[in-house]
Structure 1
Amino acid sequence: MYVGGRSSCITAITEEVAMTIFHFGKHTVPFADIHDINVEYRYHDNEIYVDLELNGGVQLSLNLPDSLTFMEQFIKKIREEKDIPLDVKSQQAVEA
């Protein structure tokens, strides 16, 4: 099943964790439902596009603005889970 079209993104705050949910018409997608991510980038055009594969085999292709939003939130999620500060060089200087 392929779900296309323009997507939008909102963040819902729960008591313990901020969970990002993407909306595609009547569809909502939390990070936990994402099975795989394919990123296509065009360096000289300053473009990046994300295709998501969800549990159950559904595939979603995000447009440029939503691809950027997704990647920003995904990188933030990785930093939080791996406890990597935003400014690694400043953190390394403090530790030295």
Structure 2
Amino acid sequence: MVVPQPGRPDREHTLSTTYALTVEGIAKPTTHESLVQAVEALWEILFALPLAPTEHEAYRYFLAERGADHARDFIVRDGRMVLEFGVAGTRHTAVIRPSA
């Protein structure tokens, strides 16, 4: 499946050597070699889900052009980036965090 790819920032943000992505109840946890790769993987998962149109558009906007920058800002501040979303009336949580 080909999906629109989030934009890549001008520079790679490396707070960690690897990043873990978990999407509770949707996908198995994965580890990525860069923050850009983790954000792209999250977008691919979200793109494939039947999200409400406004929710899909909001996450597309958030993850597209500056997705790694946004994720980095949350990770620096909170130690992780957390997104919550609903699918078929069930709430799910996606988390990107530096791997230990």
Larger radius of gyration: 1
TM-score, shorter chain, exceeding 0.5:
no
Q: Which has the higher contact order (CA 8 A, sep 6+)?
A: 2
Q: How would you bin the TM-score normalised by the shorter chain? A: under 0.3
Instruction: Choose between structure 1 and 2: higher strand proportion.
Output: 1
Normalised TM-score (structure 1) = 0.26
TM value normalised by structure 2 = 0.26
